[in-house]
Structure 1
Amino acid sequence: MLELRNIHTYYGSIRAVRGISIIVNNGEMVCLIGANGAGKSTTLMTTSGIYTPVEGSIYFEDRDITQTSAEDRVALGISQVPEGRLIFADMTVLENLELGAYTRKDKQGIREDIDKMFQFFPVLRERQKQRGGSLSGGEQQMLAIGRALMCRPRLLLLDEPSLGLAPLIVKQIFEIIQQINADGTTILLVEQNAQIALQVTNRGYVMETGEITIEGASADLLADESVRQAYLGE
């Protein structure tokens, strides 16, 4: 579904991504793990069109989208949940979800999908008239995921969904992420909690200083001594 070929991306004057290649197959959940500053978020933002690589190509469903705008990538079926959630704090929960469907014209389908998000996240139904900024961190993360799903993406990019959340909420969020994947949405996940990321994904890539250093089946990475020492605290 997604292929990044020899991607080089600058963040300001810093070369944050240095010639990486990543493949995500249809239906998979793939993780990208690594320390802070490794270039993981830059990779996602390059994939979603926020940044344009200075070298390399991005293919989505065999189509070259390297120069395609971020908004057009949403229309093609790519949606991102950004690090830090970045919901619209002054808008209500319902308005945030409606904005997630901004590119769509099917009003009946949008209403049905809002109801589906409320089924996924029952707390959002209870809070639908509240300002997004008044929600707890976990509720805001649920809203950010729900908003991203409102455009009916085929590929969902998740950037640090566990960031700043209590362990019980993290468990709940990842159960929902697994359900989203089981329902047919392909997922590329960036996550600092390497343990949980490798437990729920099919394959993984380890990123260090802008480069992919290890890749393989998530179960194999979980058993890899160097990965366990560097990212699992062992």
Structure 2
Amino acid sequence: MAVPQLTLLPDPPLLTDDEDTYNAKADATVIAQQKSIPEINTSLTWIGAQVTAIGGYATTASNAATSASDSATLAGQAKTQAQAAAAAAGSAAGLPSLAGNDRRPLGVVPGATGVSWLTAIKSLYIEPSVKQSSGGAVSLNLGTSGLFDVTLTSNTTFTFTGVPSLSATEMLVVVVRVTNGATGYSVTWPAGIVWEASGGVTPPTPNANKSQEFLFTFEGSTVIGRKGAGT
């Protein structure tokens, strides 16, 4: 239903009008006022309907919020149950508890009688190396590897992405080997690196036809850089 409209009243009678004009205007005004009563009633009915509809919307929104909250509660309960089931299955299979063993490797205990979380890595660990020829803006994704071998094709700006969240007792070591071909291109490292060099100066990029390794230690929010071996 469209918004009801009230018909404008005619010009009212004025004291400055002559008698005939005054009487004509007065008659027209009274008649118009009588006709406006149904229009006013229609408008009030429409307003009441809108108020009722708004109340219905509020109730629907409240019900939806309650339903969403109930769903979230059920999802949380399902997650807890799934975690408990996984822990029970792991225990039945002879696996140690996950609690308190963040990032620890799982290894076979001496005598090969079971498995346990290791406090130190005793076995050989081989990590994939990301080897590429590139230049310009180059992203070193630590979620992919911690070893990068980059041959420069132009002046290059490196950024570290995929950096994991480390606790105060955790450390991540990254190695970046930079190689220049016949042209000695330059490298710009991310800002904020603490360089372990005289005066904290950023080590130079290798000359043409030379390679240089750079080592980075991520400790919390601090990144420590140092110059490694080179040709």
Is this a same-fold pair by TM over 0.5?
no
Identify, as 1 or 2, the structure richer in helix. 1
Higher relative contact order (CA closer than 8 Å, sequence separation 6+) = 1
TM value normalised by structure 2: 0.23
TM-score normalised by length of structure 1: 0.23
